[in-house]
């Protein structure tokens, strides 16, 4: 089951006609750096450093991020071919998660700060981000991601 979600939480237009939209997004933590590259949008993200270590481990054990599709190796930023044997790939992903948990727990047992121990768990975490921006910022964001013939009004 995917937890990926986006919900408009505020949408307003001022007297000059400028639109400002805020979206609350739940996404895999591993794409946070890609989201942060968009300077036309203002963002605030939940911090893995602030979450207690044991709570983080339980979250990663009980509800890990697992890719829903496995792209084949490709050049450039967008690929279009996907692996068919997703079960085997998902098993490998969960094996990596289990190893990360074991190593992070070892660090925690040795009194290493959660700011470091939690970092090992990030590929398997979900995060929440509040994103706010003007129409021009959102247009830029989606124009970089939509296929050339996609409906721009989605």
Greater confidence (154 vs 6) lies with 6
DSSP3 helix / strand / coil % (the chain, rounded to 5):
40, 20, 40
Structural contact between residues 24 and 6, judged by C-beta atoms closer than 8 angstroms: yes
* Beta pairing partners, 126: 28
Dihedral sign (CA 101, 106, 111, 117): negative
> Tens of pLDDT along 53-70?
999 999 999 999 999 888
- Indicate if the pLDDT at residue 121 is higher than 90: yes
- Indicate if the pLDDT at residue 153 is higher than 70: no
- Indicate if the pLDDT at residue 1 is higher than 60: no
- Indicate if the pLDDT at residue 6 is higher than 70: yes
Number of C-alpha atoms within 13 angstroms, CB side, residue 144?
A: 11
Q: What's the predicted TM-score (pTM) here?
A: 0.80
Round to whole Å and give the CA distance between 148 and 90: 31
> In Å, how far from its chain's centre is CA 88?
23
* Beta pairing partners, 27: 127
- The chain-wide mean pLDDT, for the chain, equals 89
Instruction: Tokens for 110, please give them.
Output: 């040795």
> Tens of pLDDT along 26-62?
999 998 888 888 788 999 988 877 888 999 999 999 9
**Burial (0-12, 13-18, 19+ Cβ within 10 Å), 66:** middle
Mean pLDDT of 141-152: 72
């Amino acid at each position: 089951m995917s937890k990926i979600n986006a919900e408009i939480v505020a949408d307003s237009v001022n007297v000059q006609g400028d639109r400002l939209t805020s979206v609350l997004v739940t996404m895999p933590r591993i794409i946070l750096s890609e989201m942060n590259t968009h300077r036309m949008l203002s963002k605030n993200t939940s911090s893995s450093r602030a979450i207690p270590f044991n709570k983080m481990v339980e979250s990663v054990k009980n509800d890990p991020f697992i890719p829903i599709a496995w792209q084949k190796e490709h050049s450039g930023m967008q690929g279009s071919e996907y692996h068919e044997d997703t079960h085997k790939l998902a098993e490998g992903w969960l094996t990596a998660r289990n190893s990360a948990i074991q190593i992070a727990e070892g660090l925690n047992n040795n009194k290493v700060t959660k700011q470091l121990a939690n970092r090992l768990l990030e590929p398997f975490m979900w995060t929440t981000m509040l994103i706010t921006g003007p129409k021009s910022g959102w247009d830029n964001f989606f124009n970089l991601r939509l296929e050339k013939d996609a409906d721009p009004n989605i």
